[in-house]
Amino acid sequence: MFKAIVSAETLRTTLDSVSVLVDECKIHLNEDGLEIRAVDPANVGMVDLGLDADAFESYEADGGLIGVNLSRLEDIAGMANSGDLVHLELDEETRKLHIQIDGLEYTLALIDPDSIRQEPDIPDLDLPARVVVEGADIDRAVRAADMVSDHIALGVADDQFYIDAEGDTDDVHLELDRDDLIDLDAGDAHSLFSLDYLKDMNKAIPKDAEVTLELGEEFPVKLHFDIAEGLGTVTFMLAPRIQSD
Amino acid sequence: MFKAIVSAETLRTTLDSVSVLVDECKIHLNEDGLEIRAVDPANVGMVDLGLDADAFESYEADGGLIGVNLSRLEDIAGMANSGDLVHLELDEETRKLHIQIDGLEYTLALIDPDSIRQEPDIPDLDLPARVVVEGADIDRAVRAADMVSDHIALGVADDQFYIDAEGDTDDVHLELDRDDLIDLDAGDAHSLFSLDYLKDMNKAIPKDAEVTLELGEEFPVKLHFDIAEGLGTVTFMLAPRIQSD
Amino acid sequence: MFKAIVSAETLRTTLDSVSVLVDECKIHLNEDGLEIRAVDPANVGMVDLGLDADAFESYEADGGLIGVNLSRLEDIAGMANSGDLVHLELDEETRKLHIQIDGLEYTLALIDPDSIRQEPDIPDLDLPARVVVEGADIDRAVRAADMVSDHIALGVADDQFYIDAEGDTDDVHLELDRDDLIDLDAGDAHSLFSLDYLKDMNKAIPKDAEVTLELGEEFPVKLHFDIAEGLGTVTFMLAPRIQSD
């Protein structure tokens, strides 16, 4: 069984964090909250999202698993005004999710979880550098890099976090030192990433979020941030590209 | 003769109410105000609009009839800032409408009324159910239904006004009882309508308007609402679709 | 050498004034400020822009000449928040322009000035009529004319500045007399212009600018306005079209 009430805003933030990578996903309806893990078709970007039962107005679940079409669910959540509560209830018989928003009832057909791409195992990497930065700075770097290139290098050197993008004629470079950063555990790190993926992930990162990046030498980057006022967490992991030159 | 001054806002609201159904229309320039009746090419949606002479800053007319291109007239009205007055004067000789907005003069060629589709006779139906609802609720129902289907059922049963849309996999249902409605004269009613038409009509309905719906069993629906602070009235009528099943 | 700091807003206004006519331009880095002259490929519209050294937070130059891609530079300036300062520094060796905005460094490859269309000589015409008008009035006239025609007549007669556009069926006419104008030196003037060019120039004219138009009989029109709080000036010149009839 699954029966929950959640604010439209929390629901939308949750869905947006996953839909930047995949169209469909499995949602684990655990006793203590939701859990979603997904990887994009090319196996390059992963997301691991947890939303605590306390992030809901009310929450009851006993460990079920459902498959959902994310854009469909986002459209429904988009019908709610901010401040509206969204009532969710699973009909185990029909495998439909009943969604109710201020009198409006939407019956959503679920997807067989077995037909959805397998959930990834997010590797537990021990990465040498750790940077805590504002979401707005990631946004700025990604938009600037996008003007010149389709890949972007992230690195840590000399007590600085830097971002580099090299185009055919023009280059973009951003350096953030300890004063510009919320926190920094320095360590050698430099990896190149596909800008398309980072742009998608950036869409899901609130501009005012504290984003923790874990970085290494030619290693994946992990980006963590909180949602739902700290009652939910999102981790993106992005595989590096082979250095071009 | 026809000579009138009207606020840009009233003119725009008037034109928008008709242009959602047709591109060209006849306007009756009666002594006591304007009257427009029009039906869409497929004969499914009709509009009957009256705008009282008191809705104008000044109004003089003696019963003429003009034909206008609505989108052209909307473009001109769109040039006015809110608060601007629009001066209209018919030149009987040249069959042109002189429109003047804060020094800007626009000379609009009229259309021969005989070349415009004939005006419909809006049938005087005695429909069993009558519901008064906020424009915002119609908007919400229409947008939700649009996510799952291309038709929508409107009905009254058990002292409730309901809206149903059934898609291939998902359904939308909205129930509004006496507490949610401004008024209700209960009576058996259930009819299916094309969502495209209702979406177009919805565009013309102010969100804060009180909309009166008259409904029956497999009968057309009538939607009435006021414009121009009660000095104008709009009635839409929409023919039902044959029940699909 | 060239090294300067300028507000993002001043930089954007400067670039926009030129980019409405051309994609690339030469910028003269004079000791006392920037100068840009450009003409569109069809030789119909010209721009002459000067930005005083005092319009910059700091400015050092010794008479160099650079060639730039305007849309690329506009994109970079668009990254700045309003209030941000943009640091510009020319690397003479590499012929690259280093642009720095709040920690973000952009290295822009310059264009060989010899590869850019030759700069026009803006003729020093002695035009008989002079009108000073608000940018908002030009905007209104251009948008209204655009509804009916692809050319527009500007003229002065009987102590009035007028704008005329004649379409196949509809006409637009705007008359501004001494009360509507900021200033008027009357003189016989009437010329027809391509609306496309005037629409482009209009995009660069601030709505609250005082625009001085100099006009003659079948002569080019000159439009002057200030930018950067009077520390920069823009002059557009537009060649007339042969009167159509």
Nearest CB neighbour to B170, from listed A103, A104, A109: A109
Contacts of A59 (CB under 8 A, 6+ apart): A3, A4, A5, A6, A33, A53
Nearest CB neighbour to C173, from listed B105, B108, B109: B105
* Contact check, Cβ <8 Å, C76/A147: yes
Which of these three, A89, A114, A139, is where a domain ends?
A114
Q: Is residue B243 part of a domain?
A: no
Contacts of B135 (CB under 8 A, 6+ apart): B205, B206, B207, B208, B209, B210, B211, B225
**Quick check: C188 and C217 in contact, CB under 8 A?**
yes
Residues B222-237 have pLDDT tens digits of 999 999 999 999 999 9
Provide the pLDDT confidence category of residue A35 given band limits of 50, 70 and 90: very high
Residues B60-108 have pLDDT tens digits of 999 999 999 999 999 999 999 989 999 999 999 999 999 999 989 999 9
Collapsed DSSP state (helix, strand, coil) of residue A143: helix
Residues B159-191 have pLDDT tens digits of 999 999 999 999 999 999 999 999 999 999 999
The tens-digit pLDDT sequence of chain C (245 residues) is 999 999 999 999 999 999 999 999 999 999 999 999 999 999 999 999 999 999 999 999 999 999 999 999 999 999 999 899 999 999 999 999 999 999 899 999 999 999 999 999 988 899 999 999 999 999 999 999 999 999 999 999 989 999 999 999 999 999 999 999 999 999 999 999 999 999 999 999 999 999 999 999 999 999 999 999 999 999 999 999 976 54
Residue C131 bridge partners (DSSP): C184, C213
Whose CA is closest to A45, among A102, A122, A157? A122
pLDDT recorded at residue C242: 76
Q: What six digits make up the tokens of B142?
A: 């229409």
Residue B222 bridge partners (DSSP): B214, B237
Asked if A173 and A212 sit in the same domain, the reply is: yes
Name the residue in chain B with its Cα closest to that of C147. B75
Q: Which residue, chain included where needed, has tokens 């690259």?
A: C96
Q: How far apart are CA C135 and CA C131, in angstroms?
A: 12
Q: Is residue A119 part of a domain?
A: no
**Quick check: A188 and A156 in contact, CB under 8 A?**
yes
* Contact check, Cβ <8 Å, A106/B169: no
* Contact check, Cβ <8 Å, A107/B171: yes
**ipTM greater than 0.85, yes or no?**
yes
Q: How far apart are CA A106 and CA A93, in angstroms?
A: 17
Region A98-121: mean pLDDT is 96
Asked if B152 and B54 sit in the same domain, the reply is: no
Q: Is residue A123 part of a domain?
A: no
Largest CA distance in chain A: 60
Range of the domain at C145: 129-238
Q: Is residue B62 part of a domain?
A: yes
Which of these three, C92, C115, C138, is where a domain ends?
C115
Asked if B234 and B133 sit in the same domain, the reply is: yes
Asked if B140 and B188 sit in the same domain, the reply is: yes
Asked if C134 and C228 sit in the same domain, the reply is: yes
Q: What six digits make up the tokens of B33?
A: 């105000």
Phi-psi region of C224 (alpha: psi -120 to 50; beta: other; left: phi over 0): beta
**Which residues of chain C neighbour B108 with C-beta distances below 8 Å?**
170
Instruction: Flag whether residue B64 sits within 8 Å of chain C, measured between CB atoms.
Output: no
pLDDT recorded at residue B122: 87
Q: Is residue B216 part of a domain?
A: yes
What strands lie across the sheet with B96-101, from one edge to the other? B58-61, B2-7, B85-91, B96-101, B104-109, C171-177, C160-166, C151-157, C189-194
* Contact check, Cβ <8 Å, C144/B106: yes
Task: Give which of B134, B137, B142, B147 to mutate to test A binding, by max A Cβ within 10 Å.
Answer: B147
- Please report the number of interchain residue pairs, chain B to chain C, with beta-carbon separation below 8 angstroms: 37
Q: Is residue C124 part of a domain?
A: no
Name the residue in chain B with its Cα closest to that of A75. B147
Name the residue in chain C with its Cα closest to that of A173. C105
Asked if B53 and B147 sit in the same domain, the reply is: no
What length is written for chain B?
245
* Contact check, Cβ <8 Å, B174/A103: yes
Q: Is residue B123 part of a domain?
A: no
**Which residues of chain C neighbour B75 with C-beta distances below 8 Å?**
147
- Work out the percent of chain B whose per-residue pLDDT is above 70: 99
Q: For residue B104, what is the domain's CATH number?
A: 3.70.10.10
**Which residues of chain C neighbour B69 with C-beta distances below 8 Å?**
none
Rg over alpha carbons for chain B, rounded to the nearest Å, is: 19
Instruction: Flag whether residue C221 sits within 8 Å of chain B, measured between CB atoms.
Output: no
Chains within contact range of chain B (3+ C-beta pairs < 8 Å):
A, C
Nearest Cα of chain C lies from the Cα of B115 at a distance, in angstroms, of: 17
Region A209-224: mean pLDDT is 97
Name the residue in chain B with its Cα closest to that of A101. B174
* Contact check, Cβ <8 Å, A108/B170: yes
Q: Dihedral of CA B139/B140/B145/B148: which sign? A: positive
**Which residues of chain A neighbour C107 with C-beta distances below 8 Å?**
170-173
**Which residues of chain C neighbour A173 with C-beta distances below 8 Å?**
104-107
Whose CA is closest to C146, among B111, B26, B165, B75? B75
Q: What six digits make up the tokens of A227?
A: 């949602």
Nearest Cα of chain C lies from the Cα of B24 at a distance, in angstroms, of: 16
Asked if A105 and A165 sit in the same domain, the reply is: no
pLDDT recorded at residue C243: 62
Largest CA distance in chain B: 61
**Quick check: B77 and B15 in contact, CB under 8 A?**
yes
Asked if B110 and B157 sit in the same domain, the reply is: no
* Contact check, Cβ <8 Å, B144/A106: yes
Share the mean pLDDT of chain A: 96
**Total domain count, chain B:** 2
Q: Which residue, chain included where needed, has tokens 């079948």?
A: C218
**Which residues of chain A neighbour B173 with C-beta distances below 8 Å?**
104-107
Within the 92-151 window of chain C, which residues sit less than 8 Å (CB to CB) from chain A? 103-109
Residues A76-90 have pLDDT tens digits of 999 999 899 999 999
**Quick check: B85 and B22 in contact, CB under 8 A?**
no
Q: How far apart are CA A92 and CA B151, in angstroms?
A: 28
Q: Is residue C103 part of a domain?
A: yes
Q: Which residue, chain included where needed, has tokens 């291109």?
A: B69
Share the mean pLDDT of chain B: 96
Strand boundaries in A70-217, DSSP class E: 85-91, 96-101, 104-109, 129-134, 151-157, 160-166, 171-177, 183-185, 189-194, 210-215
**Which residues of chain C neighbour B115 with C-beta distances below 8 Å?**
none
Collapsed DSSP state (helix, strand, coil) of residue A109: strand
- Please report the number of interchain residue pairs, chain A to chain B, with beta-carbon separation below 8 angstroms: 37
Element (H, E) at C8: helix C8-19
- Interaxial angle between packed helices A135-146 and C70-79, expressed in degrees from 0 to 180 and rounded to the nearest 10: 180
Provide the pLDDT confidence category of residue B243 given band limits of 50, 70 and 90: low
Asked if C189 and C85 sit in the same domain, the reply is: no
Q: What six digits make up the tokens of B205?
A: 């309905």
What DSSP string describes chain B? -EEEEEEHHHHHHHHHHHHTT-SEEEEEEETTEEEEEEE-TTS-EEEEEEEEGGGSSEEEE-SEEEEEEHHHHHHHHHTSPTT-EEEEEEETTTTEEEEEETTEEEEEE-B-GGGSPPPP-------SEEEEEEHHHHHHHHHHHHTT-SEEEEEEETTEEEEEEE-SS-EEEEEEETTTSSEEE---EEEEEEHHHHHHHHHHS-TT-EEEEEE-BT--EEEEEEEGGGTEEEEEEEPPBPPP-
Q: Which residue, chain included where needed, has tokens 């500045």?
A: C161
Q: What six digits make up the tokens of A55?
A: 């992030």
Chains within contact range of chain A (3+ C-beta pairs < 8 Å):
B, C
Asked if A6 and A100 sit in the same domain, the reply is: yes
Which of these three, B46, B80, B115, is where a domain ends?
B115
Q: Which residue, chain included where needed, has tokens 């059922």?
A: B153
Q: How far apart are CA C173 and CA A36, in angstroms?
A: 63
Asked if C85 and C134 sit in the same domain, the reply is: no
What length is written for chain C?
245
Asked if B78 and B183 sit in the same domain, the reply is: no
Residues A140-162 have pLDDT tens digits of 999 999 999 999 999 999 899 99
Q: What six digits make up the tokens of B110?
A: 């009229």
